[in-house]
Structure 1
């Protein structure tokens, strides 16, 4: 093969004018005077076919080759092979034509559907009619070997070796008709008997009518072996039987012309009355049709089945439809047919033929075109390169987010799910989220709902740094939407995207906003809220189960350590603060002796027990505003022995070190910003410790307070009741304070509890402490207590605002 190509190229270079086409592979064809090659045009690389005739090897048939070249150049018809260029020398004749394939290939493979065969025969019949009537000529060699298919799948007529004008008395058909390859098989009976001059005695179209009939037999059954098969209807459609038999009639004068056969087939219900043939007739004039005619034509296109020739749709129908959509007013209907055809295109053909038009159409302001493009985007997104979608299509597509027509906004929003995997991270987390924030506030409730659904489905594509923030903000906002389906969509989206949130987000930001939906007015929302709540609760429980029992540092046990707060027990906790209060009172009762007020207002320790005879060391008790501070003061002085209820489990030593740095910190910070509270807000008692002399727990009324004391030798605690009420410098009456708090919570109770303890810059007075014990302690400083309550501004919202 390479030798043949080089030989042909050498012959061209040495003997003839330049031929601007390159030879490719040789194509196998039926017996012919021509050798067919695939070729390409050197200028642009476009495909072509080259018919080559070697003068030296076929000198006797040179007149046939010259006649074919002459007729191909002068015969202009859509059904005739299109000639691009030709070169004729003394050694060769080269004819460059459009790229064609012998029809014999398709017939042998039986790859032609009945509808395609009808369409092809219709095209050949029109061409023969033109030759016989308008051209007043005879083809003389009509058969399957003379027919080719173009790149568009259309049947093209060739084999013009003996094509002659009947007005020419010295026509080539009379002298060289018998030199055509395989002439004996296809020669009409009258010519086989009387020679080619018998053409003059019969209608000039009679020979072509007979050969058209044998061609019908060939395309439906394969080879035509001779005149004995003429008239057999095997494989031929029943609707064509009558006309076919009249074409191959042995009497030339009784034969119908190809023109008559064509007219018979085109009648309503005839064998040429098919959608495919109507399509080929109407596609060339699509732009000049009226709107009604165009709509009817496009309807017929949409009804076409898959057995029609794909090449024709790709090469002929598709370009015409694209022109109609872009310039001729074909509209969405034409584009729908375009996409149906495009599904059968290769990726290369799609990129070359459809993609450029699609990119331009996205810039079209026609809303109908835009919606049609978005509707068909799923069928073509996989064929569009990521760079094209990100840089060319999406910038034009985003204008739909702000379009005045709701249908455009909604369709644009839905298309986000289609193009999301083709967009860059910068576009997704920047421009796209900006537009989704607008549609989340759209006036149309359906668009707001779809925005929530869209965010839930593209959550995996969002940037990890901002994903949780964006989703929580969007979904929690939708939970307050007045449209029931928007709220329901937010709950479903939260349930579907839980994996993208941390446990802290789930507990602190998501669960609180789901709770109101549990009592939503709509049952649909309530049920979904319950399901979503269960999902997040399960996750939080699972996370909590893996957490350590405490975040405090390990206990440091020392022999000299004072009493410690016992570990909370569930049996002791009657309320959320029960264990803390009970632990505090336990430590007060663990201290030896009983606090007693002296005449000068200074607290002095009493003897631990008459039976021991030992005096308790002096202690300094400073009134503070919290139980923890009182406890630290209580354990400041050493006791004879660390006594507690649960001595086996103690809190870490760090709770009982020097309290001075702790007093500068605000324990309320651990509870968040509690806001302004009223005078009876129990939370105020957890405020910041200060040097103020105000005792929040002291009372001015005389109360009887049970004080528990423990003897060193006694194993049972005996309550000791003091008959004297505590004054300003006495030990705080904790039980009385609790009783007062309970009384104040009843309706009509006066709100006299101070807001908190304020710091007082005045120096604390130091008063000596006296003891009834034999061994006196060194006097210690005592804080001056200011009983005046803080100003609260009338805020009595209680705990609600604080939380």
Structure 2
């Protein structure tokens, strides 16, 4: 083989230029030609090369030259197409379209009956043309002289003895018997008297007989000799009668191939098949009207999968694409295109379908746009990512804002198909921008589908803004008036629960779901309960991994300060833990017991005996202004802040400012009620503490609020020669001690009593007193109740 190639290359180098490259040899043993696969050097396209070695076949050289001449001059769609020829003294080359010997398919029996009929139909048209229009005789019609092109169509070759009957020196007279295997296929009349006798018979007689033997051969595999002519084994019954007339022993009684073709095309004839009808009308598909196009497509739908794939790829598909783009074929034609494209290889799809799809996405025809979107799942795997992201998606986004709702809806649905071919930048930028518009569409179905779409593409969204986008979209849909939109939002939330943090679940999602628990529609209520369970389970699982507290552990100082009981969370092992009020009552009653019986009025302390448990609360004597332990402690917190070095004037000023907005005692009584009569504050029976009289060192009665007026009066009595008190704080003229009016609030100084005392003190001329530093810091009593910290 290598030697042959080198010899061919050497011969070419010595002869005329031949711009084709030889490839593998194709075995054909019944021809004067050697067939090779080849390629065109200019563009690498496929071709076939018929080679004739002059030196080895000098006696058949006229036949080879006749074939070259006839192939170049006889042009017909059913005849092998010639690209170029080269003739030298040593070789003859014919470059043609890429073909394969039909004999290969016949031996493998790889063609269906319908395909065989379709092939014979094409050959019959070519022979009719040769006999009728060209007034010629083929003379060597058989399986060995037929080929299949890249489109699967049968092509007629073997023009070695093709002759015009108008030529007196036709080659068929002298060389008809030199054709390989001529003895098996020669008509009986010529076998007896020789090929010169062809002049006395009808022009079509030889080719009609050979066409009959061809029918037997394609359906049975081999034609051995004249004895098999007329046998109908494996031949379709509808063809029997016409077939027998082709192989009639009387040449004058034979029907021509043209007549055979006409009989087959009659209504109900053997050539009336969907495949033949399709191929017969595909060339002018773009010129058909609506009814004719509809009929054509119906015939196309009737085709089964065993029809020639190559023909659909090379012939039908390009015509259908032309009809869709330019001939108004519409969605139905494009649906057939997609059906055929399933049989294309990836390279074939990229070369034939992808460019057309890109152009069609730019079409303003809404029907075509919807058809493209519907068929995207069938072709998305074969479309390169760059093509989808850079060329198809920019054209596709116009559908999000189309005025036709069906286009908007199909565009939203198509997002699920193309999402895998879009870049992260496109998804998180332009796509989300358009989905935000459709989520607020006037059509409830489009809003619902947008929610479903977001739920399904959630994993494709950027991690940084995924939760933000989904929460905003789904919680908005939970308020949608359309019931299925709300249900879709609940389903989407449940499906994307892993996308949200526990804080988002607790603070944003669960509060949004809660109104759906009482939705008017049972469908929504049931789904909201299911979705709620999903998020509650997630939150509980997270909470089980959290620490019991984030407070720092107590230090030694904190532990000593915390020795006094506080109003805090109940202890788990406490007997009162079963009641949510138990811990509060026990702590509060302990505090009341520590201050029971300590009340002060007008600067004096009156001991109060503990009330026996047998005496009802209403029998107690109500006093004008009782100060509770809680109020005393709150005031202690309030007045503990001023520094010890502050003057009397500044202390009084700050205190008045702190208490000046307090409510009068009557309002406090109304708000709090008669606390002495409430059993809630009853103190336990225990020995009361010894009361004490407030002094200058401890100017607070019962650890309560400061009595600045009483304290100043005491100071003036201690030092008679001291300077008089400031105006308003001296003793009244009648010698009665200045009283400090008490308020039953949380520590306010003022009211009617205070005003009266201030007016009396103003009428007495104050004695000069020596200014001194007053320590207003309350004495530590060790009875800190902790309310200040608690409040």
How high is the TM-score relative to the length of structure 1?
A: 0.77
Distance 1:704 1:608 in 2: 12
On the 8 A contact 1:38/1:99 being kept in 2, the answer is yes
Residues 633 and 409 (structure 1 numbering): CA distance in 2 closer, same or farther, change over 3 Å? same
The residue aligned with 1:746 is: none
The residue aligned with 2:5 is: 5
Distance 1:42 1:494 in 2: 62
Distance 1:581 1:251 in 2: 127
On the 8 A contact 2:376/2:417 being kept in 1, the answer is yes
Helix, strand or coil for the counterpart of 2:303? coil
The residue aligned with 2:789 is: none
Mapping of 1:518-597 within 5 angstroms? 518-557=517-556, 560-561=560-561, 562-565=563-566, 567-569=569-571, 572=576, 578=581, 581-582=584-585, 584-585=587-588, 588=591, 592=594, 594=596, 596-597=598-599
Residue from 598, 601, 626 that aligns with 2:600: 598
Helix, strand or coil for the counterpart of 2:376? helix
Residues 574 and 605 (structure 1 numbering): CA distance in 2 closer, same or farther, change over 3 Å? farther
Distance 2:176 2:222 in 1: 21
Distance 1:173 1:23 in 2: 31
* Number of equivalences: 669
Helix, strand or coil for the counterpart of 2:669? coil
Helix, strand or coil for the counterpart of 1:543? helix
The residue aligned with 1:116 is: 115
CA drift of 1:6 comes to 2.0
**Per-residue deviation, residues 60-118 of structure 1 (Å, max 9, x unmatched):** 00000000001101111100000011111111111100000000111111111111111
Higher helix share: 2
On the 8 A contact 1:332/1:372 being kept in 2, the answer is yes
The residue aligned with 1:403 is: 402
Mapping of 1:20-31 within 5 angstroms? 20-31=19-30
Distance 1:483 1:204 in 2: 81
Mapping of 1:244-393 within 5 angstroms? 244-393=243-392
Helix, strand or coil for the counterpart of 1:87? strand
The residue aligned with 1:780 is: 777
**Per-residue deviation, residues 218-270 of structure 1 (Å, max 9, x unmatched):** 11111111111111111111111111111112221221111111111111221
Residues 693 and 32 (structure 1 numbering): CA distance in 2 closer, same or farther, change over 3 Å? same
Helix, strand or coil for the counterpart of 2:269? coil
Distance 1:337 1:504 in 2: 53
The residue aligned with 2:783 is: none
Distance 1:583 1:391 in 2: 75
Any unmatched runs of 5+ in structure 2? 612-626, 644-656, 691-699, 706-743, 749-774, 780-791
Helix, strand or coil for the counterpart of 2:25? strand
Distance 2:490 2:745 in 1: 41
The residue aligned with 1:704 is: 676
**Per-residue deviation, residues 400-450 of structure 1 (Å, max 9, x unmatched):** 000000011011011000001111111111111110110011111111111
Mapping of 1:78-477 within 5 angstroms? 78-477=77-476
Distance 2:597 2:170 in 1: 145
On the 8 A contact 1:584/1:627 being kept in 2, the answer is no
**Per-residue deviation, residues 38-72 of structure 1 (Å, max 9, x unmatched):** 11111111111010111111010000000000110
Which has the higher Rg, Structure 1 or Structure 2?
A: 2
The residue aligned with 1:764 is: none
Distance 2:85 2:604 in 1: 130
CA drift of 1:177 comes to 0.6
Residues 11 and 403 (structure 1 numbering): CA distance in 2 closer, same or farther, change over 3 Å? same
CA drift of 1:321 comes to 1.0
RMSD value, Cα? 3.6
Helix, strand or coil for the counterpart of 1:30? coil
The residue aligned with 1:750 is: none
Distance 1:709 1:405 in 2: 78
Distance 2:630 2:87 in 1: 116
CA drift of 1:334 comes to 1.3
Distance 2:606 2:379 in 1: 92
Helix, strand or coil for the counterpart of 2:44? coil
Residues 203 and 13 (structure 1 numbering): CA distance in 2 closer, same or farther, change over 3 Å? same
Distance 1:5 1:538 in 2: 78
**Per-residue deviation, residues 270-303 of structure 1 (Å, max 9, x unmatched):** 1110011011111101111112211221222223
Distance 1:546 1:308 in 2: 66
